[in-house]
A and B are shown apart, each in its own frame.
Chain A
Amino acid sequence: MNIGEVFNKYEPKKENLLLILHDIQGSNGTQSIDEETLKKVAEYLDMSLSQVYGVVSFYTMYSTKPRGKYIIRICQSPTCHLMGSKSLLEHLKETLKIDVNETTHDKMFTLETSSCLGVCSEAPAMMINDTVYGNLTEEKVNSILEKLRSNHEND
């Protein structure tokens, strides 16, 4: 969806701001919202740039910096933490060779931590874009990343 299509989908009401931001972010290939785009959103909703930036910077799902094709959100809340998510985070950092909130050089993966994802009986868990993975182990994580990489190569 380009930005015009997003605006066609939603009436210019402030209650649609978060929905508009999600749609823009999810369809522009960078999984982020840049300054020019945010200005257009502000104008569409008759809000100021400062207000919409205040919103974007508040919510963790939005980013103003471009992110990778796949955003890995690994839960670090108490249930997952008890079940070993901290060492899985370290494993991801080592495997992908990036720190939290960074993107791999090939722009494939961005690593983020998350609060409880609501799949707690399958802890430890992570989301990659819209898909949730639970009962994670280092091996599982490796195979998930592998599969995503090979999917991408086949695209």
Chain B
Amino acid sequence: MSEMVKIKINNVDVEVEKGTMLLDAIKKAGFSVPTLCYHEDLKPNGTCGICVVEVKGSPTLKRSCCTPVDRDGMEINTFSKKVKEARETVLKLILADHPDDCLTCIKNQNCELQSLAEQLDINETEYDKIFNEYEADYNSSAIIRDPRKCIKCGRCVQVCQEVQTVFAIDMINRGHDTVMGLPFEMGLGETVCVNCGQCIMVCPVGAIYEKSYEKEVWNALNDPSKHVIVQEAPAVRVAIGEEFGMEPGTVTSGKMHSALKRLGFDKVFDTNFSADLTIMEEGTELIHRVKHALNTGDMSKLPIITSCSPGWIKFLETYYPILINNVSTAKSPQQMFGALSKTYYAKKENIDPASIVSVSIMPCTAKKFEAQRPEMNSSGYRDVDYVLTTREFANMIKVAGIDFPSLPDLNADSPMGEYTGAGTIFGATGGVMEAALRTGYELISGETLPKVDLTEVRGMEGVREADVAIPGLPFTLKVAVAHGLGNARKILDKVVEQIEKDGKSEYHFIEIMACPGGCVGGGGQPYGSTLAIRAKRAEGLYKEDAEMLEHRKSHENEQVKEVYKEFLGEPYSEKAHKLLHTNYVKRSKY
């Protein structure tokens, strides 16, 4: 417990713990200080110079984001003439170093620099524009960079290096030429970038954003010769509402389906259906590997690691190729859906698969990369044609003038729209694990789960572990969950060390999600994601699971049972292998 000290902020007395950052102490006193480079999920780096305040006795102004309250009697002024002048000058300098493209910029109305200029009442400037004309980078299939707009806040580098530990990007050059950039002018698609899009989530301006496929989807919707179908990830339904003034975590599945119907999609399915399907395939795979280990003593196929996060998969291929054989061969729900949509669905409804345009709405930018992976064509066509982020979906709703909050609820279409609670919780960290355990428990033991809510694997802690006892299994299943690739490294390094030392690991089943929070924190979600907001979105999914659905276990999904009965045979069948399983490639770090 830290010592409490009495300080004055703008002449208001307030008591805070010694060591509190001024930024927080100022809030406690009922004031706020404008910030720009500061992000609540990142360490303050002090690059912008906006949050400065006057501290009595200090020769210069101090940054409130990284200056702690260090003594009793500190006196702070947050809007004195000195502070206002300095802050305004710094902001005008930043504006002079930034193009005035607001009207056509992707971040128009969502830009932190715009908001700051408005907040500080900047109506004119005495400075000339002196920003550098860098070229944009359209190389990647998922993410576009526009360094002209970079304000060198450093957040993207922090998230890529410190949170995600991917190290695809860094600041380059020096002085006024400093910018977030890539080595030797390569394109983002040529780097180790895993497309997680966390850089997009933290960029305050329009310097990084997703590659949009809205135009292509509109064209398909307007093409009468095309049969356009759509699937939506679980994480979309608890976040899309934010784009229309609703609280993060509001479950809007019904409205989501409605909106898509109104946009003109021929069939509105749901990724949660194929999430349940994924559990059938991956659960069976888990059981196979466990049986193999029990029968032969060969532990090399354990732990089995989930495979539905394409950001994680590219990270695996680049940094942990040694674990490639441990990862489940099951495709992600998006890709399973895609493969079935142009085979099972096409056949069932007698539609020419060549006319099907398969669209997905994802909270994720890496899904754009995943859909374009060469091997994702087991249907004989591109399994998923276009991936739209939650934000792109919102754009389309706004362009069409659909009043989202007032939409009636609509169920998704058959035969690929039914889902259980297990499917929907995929969007939260720990959700895939819990879904797999609900089915795994019942399939292995033949008994009903005593408690459906496996809360031991829930929560926002970076790495979580649990021991799961399943009747019929001679050992306790040791499971682990990690979200955010920096946290993934922690558990994976442990596994690699154990395998190298003992030839086996203590873990049997690990869930890895590339994004902090799981998919609810994906790179395609509404701007302004913080860990707090992600937690709310996850809560929404657990609520839908517990209160709003008929079934909560994947193996109870009737439409999934139908796919096997009519088309695939049984989980892990040869047909299932061909359409619903995949392989991975080793990628160079350099």
A and B pair up = yes
Interface positions of A (Cβ within 8 A of B): 35, 38-39, 42-43, 47-54, 57-60, 64
Q: Shortest Cβ distance from A147 into chain B, in angstroms?
A: 34
Give Cα A50 to B590, complex, Å.
9
Q: Shortest Cβ distance from A74 into chain B, in angstroms?
A: 19
Interface residues on B, range: 10 to 19
Inter-subunit contact A64/B191 (CB<8 Å)? no
A-B pair count, CB < 8 Å, reads: 46
Is residue B230 within 8 Å, beta carbon to beta carbon, of the partner chain? no
**In the assembled complex, which residues on chain B have CB atoms less than 8 Å from the CB atom of A42?**
590
A to B CB contacts below 8 Å, 19 in the list: A35-B183, A43-B589, A47-B167, A48-B170, A48-B192, A49-B183, A49-B589, A50-B167, A50-B182, A53-B184, A54-B170, A54-B171, A54-B172, A57-B172, A57-B173, A57-B174, A58-B173, A58-B174, A60-B174
Q: Shortest Cβ distance from A17 into chain B, in angstroms?
A: 13
Chain A interface mostly helix, strand, loop or mixed?
A: helix
Q: What is the chain B residue whose CB lies nearest that of A48?
A: B167
A-contact 0/1 string along B181-213, CB 8 Å cutoff: 011100000011000000000000000000000
Q: Shortest Cβ distance from A65 into chain B, in angstroms?
A: 10
Q: What is the chain B residue whose CB lies nearest that of A59?
A: B174
Give Cα A53 to B173, complex, Å.
9
Q: Which listed residue, B167, B183, B191, touches A38 by the CB 8 Å rule?
A: B183
Give Cα A35 to B589, complex, Å.
13
Q: What is the chain B residue whose CB lies nearest that of A36?
A: B590
Inter-subunit contact B184/A50 (CB<8 Å)? no
Give Cα A64 to B186, complex, Å.
14
Is residue B150 within 8 Å, beta carbon to beta carbon, of the partner chain? no
Inter-subunit contact A50/B174 (CB<8 Å)? no
Is residue B7 within 8 Å, beta carbon to beta carbon, of the partner chain? no
Q: Shortest Cβ distance from A66 into chain B, in angstroms?
A: 14
Is residue B53 within 8 Å, beta carbon to beta carbon, of the partner chain? no
Is residue B169 within 8 Å, beta carbon to beta carbon, of the partner chain? yes
**In the assembled complex, which residues on chain B have CB atoms less than 8 Å from the CB atom of A38?**
183
**In the assembled complex, which residues on chain B have CB atoms less than 8 Å from the CB atom of A59?**
174
Q: Shortest Cβ distance from B192 into chain A, in angstroms?
A: 7
Q: Shortest Cβ distance from B191 into chain A, in angstroms?
A: 7
Is residue B168 within 8 Å, beta carbon to beta carbon, of the partner chain? yes
Other contacts beyond A50-B182, A51-B161, A58-B174: 11, CB < 8 A: A35-B183, A48-B167, A48-B168, A48-B192, A49-B192, A50-B170, A51-B167, A52-B183, A53-B182, A58-B173, A59-B174
Inter-subunit contact B167/A35 (CB<8 Å)? no
Q: Shortest Cβ distance from A53 into chain B, in angstroms?
A: 3
Q: Shortest Cβ distance from B487 into chain A, in angstroms?
A: 19
Most chain A beta-carbon contacts within 10 A, residue among B168, B172, B174, B183: B183
**In the assembled complex, which residues on chain B have CB atoms less than 8 Å from the CB atom of A58?**
172-174
